[in-house]
Amino acid sequence: MARRITAPRIQRMKGKGKKVVMVTAYDATFARLVDSADVDAVLVGDSLGNVIQGHETTLPVTLEEMIYHTRCVSRGLTRPLLVGDLPFLSYQASVEQAVISAGRLMKEGRANAVKLEGGACMAKAVRRLVDIGIPVMGHIGLTPQSVHAFGGMKIQGREDQRAEQILADAKALEEAGVFSIVLEGLPTPLAKRVTESVEVPTIGISAGPHCDGQVLVLYDMLALDETFKPRFVKHYASMGATVVDALNRFSSEVREGAFPDEEHSFE
């Protein structure tokens, strides 16, 4: 069996100039496919609220749901680091709440690390998690759990004051002990500045090419929903069209009596 990629190994990749490659996954079947590809980390993101559950935002996702999907993914994964995402209001209330929720994602969900949104305001919780042996991935910029405060999914840090705040957030997370930081929805020059100002790897989504790694939502990059094509998403396959085509061929063959034929039947 291939050796598991660890959080310290992801952290060291920056010093070696190696890009970190991360994708999301939500079930064992996709996890197995990702496992057989050259990917460093798998994030069971609370984006499952959008792509699995059909919600408008990630806010309704519960800790129980995250634990369930993380455990499903863990059964299909042998090599990439498995990162479980802490959902809205499972860690912001207190350091104790963060410890219990992160602990459950590791213990019941079998995550190797957790991710949480927020910068300086989460530093105390991050420090405590790291102190008790839970590797933490930070997430700053356009943090989707704050979509209502931002007034929509808007690129962050175009104004000087907000840009300085994002830089300070990255520094605070690094000092608190995160092994990497997701930068989401930042102008390219700001993501570059943040990346140059911290020693832990930054993993970008909608943050330009200068981050130390990149992450995409698996369903987006495979174009399972062809109508969802924001500028930062690249379609590496046309899975949505392939699925509809397969379903239509099945439907025609059933209606014509061509399926099942002898080859797919028992005597």
Residue 24 engages ligand KIV in binding (rule: CB under 6 A): yes
> Choosing from 184, 226, 263, 267, which is the catalytic residue?
184
The answer to whether 109 and 71 have CB atoms below 8 angstroms apart is yes
Distance CA 140, CA 165 (A): 10
Q: Are 140 and 195 in contact (CB under 8 A)?
A: no
Considering only the stretches 43-51, 162-170, 226-234, 239-247, report the one whose residues sit in contact with ligand KIV under the rule CB under 6 A.
Answer: 43-51
Decide if 164 is catalytic: no
Span interacting with ligand KIV, options 4-12, 44-52, 98-106, 190-198, rule CB under 6 A: 44-52
User: Which of 67, 81, 98, 217 forms a contact with ligand KIV (CB under 6 A)?
Assistant: 217
Number of residues that bind ligand KIV (CB under 6 A): 12
Concatenated DSSP letters of 224-258: SSTT---TT---S--HHHHHHHHHHHHHHHHHHT-
Q: Return phi, psi of residue 77, to 5°.
A: -115, 130
* Pick 215 or 222: Cβ nearer ligand KIV: 215
Identify each DSSP E strand in 98-135 by its residue range. Answer: 113-115
Q: Which of 46, 169, 174, 212 binds ligand KIV (CB under 6 A)?
A: 46
Alpha helices in 89-238 (DSSP H): 95-107, 123-131, 147-150, 160-176, 188-197, 218-221
> Which residues 170-199 are close enough to bind ligand KIV by CB under 6 A?
182, 184
Among 129, 205, 207, 224, binds ligand KIV (CB under 6 A): 205
Span from 39-47, 99-107, 150-158, 171-179 in contact with ligand KIV (CB under 6 A):
39-47
258 contact partners, CB below 8 Å, separation of at least 6: 252
Is 43 a binding residue for ligand KIV by CB under 6 A? The answer is yes
CB 238 within 8 A of CB 226: yes
For the annotated catalytic residues, the residue numbers are 184
Binding site for ligand KIV (CB under 6 A): 24, 43, 45-47, 85, 139, 182, 184, 205, 215, 217
